[in-house]
Amino acid sequence: MTGAAADYDVVIAGAGLVGLALAPVLANAGLSVALADRAGVTMPEPPPDGEGWDTRIYAISPGSAAFLWALGAWQALPPDRVAPIEAMRVEGDAGARLDFSAYELGERALAWIVEERALRTALIAVVRAAGMAIHAPCTFESLSLSDAGGVLQLASGGPLTARLIVGADGVRSWVRDAAGITATVKPYGQTAVVANFACERAHRGRAYQWFVEDGGILAWLPLPGRRISMVWSAPDPLAQELLALPREALAARVAERGRHALGAFECITPGAGFPLQLVKLPSVTARRLALIGDAAHGVHPLAGQGVNLGFGDAEALAAVLRERGSLADAGAPILLDRYARRRAEPVLAMQTVTDALARLFGTTTPWIRTVRNIGMAAIDRLPPAKRLLALSALR
């Protein structure tokens, strides 16, 4: 386009996983949808040898998997690149332990480990099949929101007008800032160090998580075969030390920190670091605007629920728009209020729990250390409490 306005029911600004998931649901519901992103919406390059693994790995909950299945994306994932978490062991920093089992909960898996590349490939295929307009790569120049509608002005290609603008452009959301919504950001003083490893012994579908003495949290997530993905939420100085290690030294350090539960390790992807912070917003909606995914909230990764909250946002917003009845205006205030109400409780609950755990295990005060481990051990001996805790993560 060159200067002419394009008018839609919904413009989704941001083509990450959550924006990609929302777009075809709305298009298939009969809404005119445009997807805009500052990067190209293109299929990721396959690994050159067919064996390479993404550093970026997601733990997809059964609820999110069901949503992606309804989209047609989940069944398109290559089975040999997806691994179920069938059991999980969580250990405190003073011997307490929690064990979770999908079998005991009547589930096939507690979660599914999927590479970002595989999930993105499947979602882009669904988006293309839905036949919506895609404006990418493009530069967002300005955003205006009024009672009449929203206008996303692109630096080249003209304005995109819509009854509803959806901000799905990540934790540093340009859309959120342009709308004047100020996020409250609280750094944890931790960096998530991620890498993948080949392991000596089979993991048998078990994930591991350790709350360690220095306030960090180490997680091993099963990949297909004898491989695991690591997320080490480490205090910033330790994270920088880990990221500076050669691969062999990093593999040895990670295996040792996990008490060699899976034997020796070999690093198969380089380490990468992501600063951790809690992000809260006064509202996830404004006039003609809804925020979803990391643009709407940020949580500590200790429960692996960040992307699942985002898919929950997409599912809730899509449901509100599908159920609007005779109301033709996709950006009507009553619909935005419904979306905000539906997401308020689950997001607040997840932020509260993960923040409390991160801060509780982030302190090295001896008496607090004792109390938190007693609490963990007590939960493990109370099946109803443990079941409730596990079920909350399956949504």
Which segments of the chain does DSSP mark as H helices, in order? Answer: 17-28, 62-71, 102-105, 116-130, 174-178, 236-243, 247-257, 306-322, 333-360, 366-380, 383-392
| Domain match, 215 and 258 both | yes
**Distance between CA atoms of 316 and 290, rounded to whole angstroms?**
11
Residue 359 has pLDDT above 90, yes or no: no
Q: What is the pLDDT of residue 381?
A: 54
Q: Which amino acid is at 143?
A: L
298 within a domain of the structure (yes/no):
yes
Q: What is the pLDDT of residues 104-139, one digit of tens each?
A: 888 899 999 999 999 999 999 999 999 999 999 999
| Domain match, 282 and 171 both | yes
| Domain match, 215 and 245 both | yes
| Domain match, 95 and 140 both | no
| Domain match, 214 and 344 both | no
Q: What is the pLDDT of residue 205?
A: 97
Q: What is the pLDDT of residues 10-62, one digit of tens each?
A: 999 999 999 999 999 999 999 999 999 999 999 988 766 556 899 899 999 99
Q: What is the pLDDT of residue 356?
A: 78
| Structure confidence at residue 393 as a pLDDT band (50, 70, 90) | low
71 within a domain of the structure (yes/no):
no
Residue 367 has pLDDT above 80, yes or no: no
Q: What is the pLDDT of residues 87-111, one digit of tens each?
A: 999 887 666 778 888 988 888 999 9
| Structure confidence at residue 6 as a pLDDT band (50, 70, 90) | confident
Residue scoring higher pLDDT (388 or 38): 38
Q: What is the pLDDT of residue 51?
A: 67
Residue 311 has pLDDT above 50, yes or no: yes
- Looking at the structure of the chain, the number of domains it has is 2
| Domain match, 329 and 253 both | no
| Domain match, 283 and 350 both | yes
Cβ atoms of residues 34 and 12 within 8 Å: yes
For 337, the domain range is 6-46+120-184+278-358
Q: What is the pLDDT of residues 191-234, one digit of tens each?
A: 999 999 999 999 999 999 998 887 788 999 999 999 999 999 99
| Domain match, 164 and 294 both | yes
| Domain match, 293 and 371 both | no
The arithmetic mean of pLDDT across residues 349-357, rounded, is: 83
| Domain match, 282 and 387 both | no
Buried-exposed string 83-114: b where 16+ CB fall within 10 A, e elsewhere:
bbbbbbebbbbeebebebebeebebebbbbbb
53 within a domain of the structure (yes/no):
no
Q: What is the pLDDT of residue 373?
A: 55
Mean model confidence pLDDT for the chain: 89
**Distance between CA atoms of 311 and 305, rounded to whole angstroms?**
10
| Domain match, 240 and 219 both | yes
| Domain match, 31 and 142 both | yes
Angle CA(22)–CA(388)–CA(112) in degrees, nearest 5?
45
Q: What is the pLDDT of residue 390?
A: 55
76 within a domain of the structure (yes/no):
no
